[in-house]
Amino acid sequence: MFLRSLSDPMTSKLLLTSKFVRSVLAVAVFSMISAWAQTGGAAPMGAAASPAAPAASPTMTAGAGTRFCTINIQEAVIGSNEGQRDFEALSKKLDPKRNELKGQNDELEGLEKQLQTQGDKLNDEARATLVKQIETKKKVFDRDRQDFEEDMQNQQKEAFQRILQKMAPVIIKGAQGGGFAMIVDTSNPWPQSPLLWADPGVDITKAVVDAYNVQSGVAAPTAGTPKPAAPKPAAPKPAAPTSNPPQK
């Protein structure tokens, strides 16, 4: 039931496809390259947000003979201090509408249960009225649910793209500093992505996150604050009411 989807904290987190991640990364890298062309180079990886507060950058070291590195783009964005802060704030912002939909879902479940348990005891007119009420409320619920999911995903994508565009120079600079010639995104496992396997030693996700946290200047979340969870398939919608009474 949709109720479980709304109640699950993971629903408020990132719901992005690998296609979107790749497209946003392409835009971010293009923007970064354009900035380099205008300024003559990128800022050193791990540079502090303010000149008054310099900090050492994490080291990204290439393995012997390795010509590529891997990074989980989705994990890097939502696992950064800024990502955790922004997605948690977005989740709280969406809570009122999520609770409203939960109430609608609860009401629908109650009416459907009433139809299942009392349908054969109602006269034709009363039963038809109850079925019509369920159908009407379900249409409203489905429309509101779709609007909510679209709005949630749009806001998540905006937050994801905003952070990734700022993180892209850190990713490229880190790969170049480690002597890598290629970066492979592992946000989705094989066979959703072309990469079957890679040595964990070539993964630069944590180093990128550490470097970006220094550059962004955003403080780490307080103890006890849950990290954004990985996306999962959406829960099924409530079943449409049946016009046939239950069989004894």
pLDDT digits (tens, 9 = 90+) for 15-64: 555 555 556 666 665 565 455 445 444 444 444 434 334 344 445 554 44
Cα angle 96-99-100, degrees, rounded to a multiple of 5: 85
In this prediction, residue 174 carries a pLDDT of: 85
Residue 65 has pLDDT above 90, yes or no: no
Say if residues 207 and 58 touch (Cβ distance below 8 Å).
yes
Chain-centre distance for alpha carbon 36: 29
Please check whether residue 32 lies inside any domain of the structure. Answer: yes
CB crowding 188-216: b at 16 or more within 10 Å, else e? beeeeeeeeeeeeebbbbebbbbbbbbbb
Higher pLDDT, 66 or 100: 100
In a domain, 105, yes or no: yes
Q: Count the domains in the chain.
A: 1
Measured CA to CA in angstroms, residue 55 lies from 44, 47, 83, 204 at distances of 11, 7, 21, 19
Q: State which residues form the domain around 36.
A: 17-216
**How far apart (Å, rounded) are the C-alpha atoms in residues 11 and 233?**
9
Residue 232 confidence (pLDDT):
41
Residue 238 lies in a domain: no
pLDDT at 142 (0 to 100): 97
Cα torsion at 173, 175, 179, 180 (round to 10°)? -140
Give the C-alpha separation, 91 to 12, whole Å. 5
Q: How sure is the predictor about 184, in pLDDT bands with cuts at 50, 70 and 90?
A: very high
Q: Does the residue 176 lie in any domain?
A: yes
Q: What are the φ and ψ backbone dihedral angles of 240, each rounded to 5 degrees? A: -70, 140
Question: Is 237 a domain residue?
Answer: no
User: How far is Cα 156 from Cα 2, in angstroms, rounded to an integer?
Assistant: 20
pLDDT score for 110? 96
Asked if residue 230 is part of any domain, the answer here is no
**150 assigned to some structural domain:** yes
Is residue 235, in this structure, part of any structural domain at all?
no
Look at residue 111 and tell me whether its pLDDT is greater than 90. Answer: yes
Q: In this model, does residue 246 exceed pLDDT 60?
A: no
Average pLDDT over residues 228-237: 45
